[in-house]
Amino acid sequence: MPLLWIAIGLIVYYVFIKDSNRSTSSAAEEILKQRYVNGEIDEAQYNRMKETLRK
């Protein structure tokens, strides 16, 4: 029975928490891209920040 609860907990984690982290990272990359396009940051800053977000 405890294994069933662990399995349910893992499923909930991967469905809700893992997916929300992915969408947050994607939104952050879009904001970063807009800042680069608008000239707020240069290419070197853009690349450093993008790599940081993907870690």
pLDDT in tens, 5-55: 888 888 877 777 765 555 567 888 999 999 999 999 999 999 999 999 888
pLDDT of residue 21: 55
Query: Nearest 5°: phi and psi at 39?
Result: 85, 10
- Give the whole-angstrom CA distance, residue 34 versus residue 54: 17
pLDDT of 24 reads 62
List alpha helices for the chain, DSSP H.
2-12, 19-37, 43-53
**Residue 7 has what pLDDT?**
86
